[in-house]
Structure 1
């Protein structure tokens, strides 16, 4: 990867995060109507704030993505390829199990339905992204993609999960999943050597 390719990935991910945040924010505003707008200028300001917030989430997602790449590189250095794949799969399943059940049963006061909906949406998104990644590359990409889209995404969401407000969770989940999916699906295309 060179600077030009990284720069392209950075700005496109920034745009994906911003658009995801604007879509989630406007949809949530349309459903709940939580913020009373006095005019079109309030709506434009709200959209601008959502756009900036999406940029922040995308930078956070990119930090998680590069942290995962380093973790994956170190994992291959320490463990055999097959063992590292099994470790990633177990960690992804543990993260999902924690999101599905442990927060509701141990934390108390949480809605099991909200946690199940969040966990299932992350699970189905991870399965879909892993399917497309395998289709574009090879079968060995399934477990790393699934781990990144579940385990790393859940770790990136820990701060908002501690708040326990469903609207706040939705605000970060939509742009975060969009950015993570975009980055993992673009990685093999960026790393391909240029055709001569």
Structure 2
């Protein structure tokens, strides 16, 4: 069960998929700022997913929100950010925020919706269903979630040495290529959500 939860949370949190987003928003940052952004992103994502672990079931039941609705919203947000990566706005924005000392890149798009994606929020709710899982089992799920976020943190920290090797021009190329990949992932999320809605009808 623990391995199954780990696989599910790894897929929906997608630590590897966060790397191109991290590279884009931290291009031009000093190493200290880069590390701080990585820790902030992982911390905020843990808080958001922790909130859904504790209160998510009550919130979703009260609002009547479905998984496809979450997926479509997250896919659209990721697609818009992917466009900014492709056209270079993401890196310019990251540089401006670094100069102001603004920590927003850690919150958007790294923590939400990259790490704490709509799919991850809903997966946490489903894996901690009060009707099916006991408190100790939900605590184990929380530990698995933190382990996956820890892996994402390590991968973001390793992006620093990569940036030092490829430099800013290389980061610009990587940003645009990964922007295309991220756009495809975002569109795929929307397609899957629409398919789920059609099947539900």
Whose RCO is larger (CA < 8 A, sep 6+)? 2
Instruction: Give the TM-score normalised by the residue count of structure 2.
Output: 0.33
Larger gyration radius, structure 1 or structure 2: 1
Instruction: Give the TM-score normalised by the residue count of structure 1.
Output: 0.33
